[in-house]
Structure 1
Amino acid sequence: MATKNTKKVAKIDIGISERDRARIAEGLSALLADSYTLYLMTHNFHWNVTGPMFTSLHALFLEQYTEQWNALDQIAERIRALGYPSPGTYAEFGKRASIKEVAGVPKAMDMVRHLVNAQESTARTGRALFDLVEKANDQPTADLLTQRLDVHEKAAWMLRSILEE
């Protein structure tokens, strides 16, 4: 007779209720989805940018997608520390992301516009979690969100500056 393989998971008691941990993990999953989508968009544009600003945009996109790539682990690992699985497939990210994929290969300045919108959208997703995180007394997630907001707002500012005449 086959037995069902069940894992016994130790109870999590970190001072945040299970309900709040679940809600925070869900919000962080949306942030992870936006972050991954932003990473992929930025990397795609790095590969495909052309035109008179090629060198500077190619380098900027490299800097931004590298930072974004490194942040993905921090977000996913925070979800795991709260006791929930991290989403990790295109299908799961597609359901959760507020950022939509860009079809084709846009012109360089359109790439910059798309990235401004994606950076700002990712910042809004993170910012939307603050009330819940503060009420749950979840300082590690608040710290992570503060760091991510700083990065996304600065990146959006730098990209917007390229668009100014």
Structure 2
Amino acid sequence: MTQTPRGFDPHDPTNALSTQHPGAADATAEEGYSPQPSGATDLVSGDPAAATPARRAETPLEEAPSPAPETRQVTRAGMVWAAVASALVVLILLIAFILQNQEYVQVKFFGLQGSVPLGIALFIAAVGGGVLVAIAGAARIIQLRLAAHRARVSRQAGQGTRTR
């Protein structure tokens, strides 16, 4: 559905052009498009010369261009805030999961046996899996740091012998 702007006169060609979005008149002028036929007359005054593009140029078609939006910088504080907000959402979902799974289940682990709520048992299993992944990641990071340290030491030792 389209709405007619206030103060719009459909018989005035200058009103028709001023209701276009900025830049639309420029695009039509570049392509050689004229909204009026070649033998058209101005509908308000009846003057054929008034219907030319010179008449349309009298009215301002565009407002001053708006300044370009500023680019936002990603900061550490912003990243920390996003991480904390995401963690809170995950914790809320986790609490809802635990509260909805309160039925007690029988759990057996290496000869130990007990009865634990299902939500808590699954949470403990997930935390245990996360700990195993963290241990494996920490071992790999230590391995890479030791290799980088050895390479740095061997480079420094090689440079030290060349300078003497």
User: Under TM normalisation by the shorter chain, which class is it?
Assistant: under 0.3
**Structure with the larger strand share:** 2
- Structure number with the bigger relative contact order (C-alpha 8 A, sep ≥ 6) is 1
**Structure with the larger helix share:** 1
**TM-score normalized by the length of structure 1:** 0.24
In our comparison, the structure showing a higher alpha carbon Rg is: 2
